[in-house]
Structure 1
């Protein structure tokens, strides 16, 4: 099971801007792009599906509710040096949701993609 791909879908406002952000700032690689509707990018075993308003995932639900980006669910990326990542991302203008939070398991911070989706960067505590 370790070699299996994990697929996560994020609703995004702009597929092109989202692809650029994930590739530039977080080291994802492009798998395919069918803008403006959809693209998918990969980092390790994570395949992130970026679905715009024109995608089938962006269609209204039967009750009329429209899928939208944002919320508190997030992908969780483990990093070796959180301080260095924070400095690098701040220097490139990435938006942060909070400051570094430290707990018994490690330290984390939330960054915000161009559509308002969260990405958690996490550095495990030293054992």
Structure 2
């Protein structure tokens, strides 16, 4: 199977707030928008599905469990200057889960979208 886009689904509390967040702060573009149930936004080869409570993805499971946002699985966005990106996002009021963490592969930091879904910025180590 070949596709030009990799799709990731995020459950969100408010589709319009999610669209605003991803387009304003992270350079995504709106692909489709069916408020209040669903929208998808794209950035490069990533298609992010934003599924609200009224979407089919938000329907309860047979045992009654309701899907919801949050957790630690996340999209991973590569940046060339993580310090500059963190400063820009902090200036816009974005709160981070921690400070920048440095490891053998590079630097990373995690923050949440308006529904509590995590987003990671990652700057690869110089080679």
| Normalised TM-score (structure 1) | 0.97
Aligned to 2:81: 81
1:95–1:113 contact (8 Å) kept in structure 2? no
Q: How many residues align?
A: 127
Cα displacement (A) at 1:63? 0.8
CA deviations over 1:34-58 (Å, ceiling 9, x no partner): 1110000000000000000000000
Question: How far apart are the structure 2 equivalents of 1:31 and 1:75?
Answer: 18
Instruction: Write the mapping of 1:107-126 to structure 2, written as runs, cut at 5 A.
Output: 107-126=107-126
Aligned to 2:56: 56
1:3–1:45 contact (8 Å) kept in structure 2? no
Aligned to 1:96: 96
RMSD: 1.2
- Alignment of 1:72 with 2:72, yes or no, is yes
Q: Extract unaligned runs of 5+ from structure 2.
A: none
Question: How far apart are the structure 2 equivalents of 1:2 and 1:79?
Answer: 26
